[in-house]
Structure 1
Amino acid sequence: MTPTAEWLKIWQEKKALLACPSDLNDYFETQEISGKKLDHLELGSVSIPTGEILVRDPLVFIQQDAQPYTLKVPTGEFPVTACIVVPDEDGDCARYAAVKVQFTAYDAVRFEEALIGIEDLKEFNEGEFFGFNVDAGLGCVLDRESLKHFCAFQDKFQLENPGKNLYDDYFAELFAKNYSENPTYQREGGDWINWQIPGTTYNIPFFQSGFGDGTYPVYYGFDVDENICSLIIQFIDIELAYGEDEFDMI
């Protein structure tokens, strides 16, 4: 769906408000934020054959009519990396604070929220974001073309397996297998997979969504020449979630 001229006008006016309040480079270039140790986990590659990219909950919000973001990204196979909040003495599990797709060799100098072109921007204010919804504790990055094949696989599975559940009766085994082969920063049932859609060469990484279900922002990274060089999903605002505010420090 092509954004209307009115939407594009408001989008240009609101661009400053769509900037990420955190420096997302820190998530992937530093080893600690707000006293939390960070590490990084390579999740394989994602296939982007058309450049029309989406971020979705792979178990709840995968539909054929799902709309990609308005700005196209480079095409090809691109590495996907998760920023991990490392478990410490508080007993929590590893949390995936952010996931990055790196499209080029250049670094981002600014981050702006990715939108699909139908959001209501008129009343949008500082500190707000639109994001994507998670209802199954997982996110995924995929291309509009791979979405078609995902939906076809989903339909075929349901037709051939009446009464069965796509996660319990298909994906759960893949998550458990990946945990057994790559246990670092995963819970026993598995926290990520890199899935190749059967019958295709398209890879889609699935990954845990930080603290679980909710709504999470997605940002384009722009390099110094204003070209898109990365896409980052922010599951946890580390400073907000773990930092001490001024009252705690008195």
Structure 2
Amino acid sequence: MSQFPSAEWLELYQSKENLLNAYSNFNEYFSEKELYNRPLHHINMGTVNFPTGEIIVCDPLTYLDIESEPYFTKVPQGVFPVDTVVVEVEEDHFRYAATRIKFSDKKAVKHIEALLGYEDLTELGEDEYFGFTVESGLATIVDVATRDQFCDFVNRWDYENDEDKNLYDDFFAAEFKRSFEKHPQFQREGGDWINMKIPNTDADLPMIQTGFGDGTYPVYFGYDENNEVCEIVMQYIDLELAFG
């Protein structure tokens, strides 16, 4: 269910907006070929379908369940491209730095952290963020309708398989391997990303390795000159902090 922030929370949110602004320049992330003396590469990971516009970003293997909640800000409904920027940490050693979903061709003039609508903003400080927690080294971005279809799939899979089987080892590992075989550039042999249809559905399920593995990562909505949401960015590596 969508969150409906209280008037008091929204007032505090608006007063704290300067602390929720992204420090990084994501327009550079997705347009430049090099930043901070590190080569950047760009992967088109296909598309993702947002039928309701209520969006969830989380670790898909740990936190994508029926209780996972969308951000209070809705995005346009439709099918949109998934693009990831890769930083070459050293020769032939690559890390995924950020993933962007563009909703329009408008340029973002600011990026503000995506929130659920009930975070404690009272003591938010400079250079702090809420983010999403990763425990399996993976991130996903899905619509709430996709969340429901994923949960149905997991329940069916669990029911059809014995207790000794593991969802990643016995299902998703093969999907990651196929992704590597089809798109080997910027992936390790076992695969670093997938974008698949949930079985027996039309729901898109991207899963992407997070820059340095487990941790907490911020997500930002990009707003255009008309203050409309034009993109969402999942940041795995702060390039300036890491390499600047």
TM over 0.5: yes
Shift of 1:86: 2.2
Q: Distance in 1 between matches of 2:243 and 2:161?
A: 44
1:38-77 matches, within 5 Å, as 38-77=40-79
Structure 2 gap ranges (5+): none
Q: Is residue 227 of structure 1 aligned with residue 228 of structure 2?
A: yes
Q: What is residue 210 of structure 1 aligned with on the other side?
A: 211
Q: Distance in 2 between matches of 1:54 and 1:200?
A: 18
1:1-250 matches, within 5 Å, as 1-89=3-91, 93-163=93-163, 164-243=165-244
Post-superposition CA distance 1:49-96 (Å, at most 9, x none): 00001111111111101110011000111000000012533x6x3100
SS in 1 for 2:30: helix
SS in 1 for 2:90: coil
Q: Distance in 1 between matches of 2:222 and 2:7?
A: 24
Letter in 2 for 1:200: T
Q: CA RMSD in A?
A: 1.0
Structure 1 gap ranges (5+): 244-250
Letter in 2 for 1:241: A
Q: Distance in 2 between matches of 1:148 and 1:94?
A: 33
SS in 1 for 2:157: helix
Shift of 1:107: 1.0
Regions of 4+ moved over 6 Å:
none
* Identical counterparts, % of pairs: 46
How many residue pairs end up in the alignment?
241
Q: Distance in 2 between matches of 1:9 and 1:110?
A: 19
- TM-score normalized with structure 2 length: 0.96
Q: Distance in 1 between matches of 2:71 and 2:89?
A: 33
Post-superposition CA distance 1:115-135 (Å, at most 9, x none): 001111011111100000000
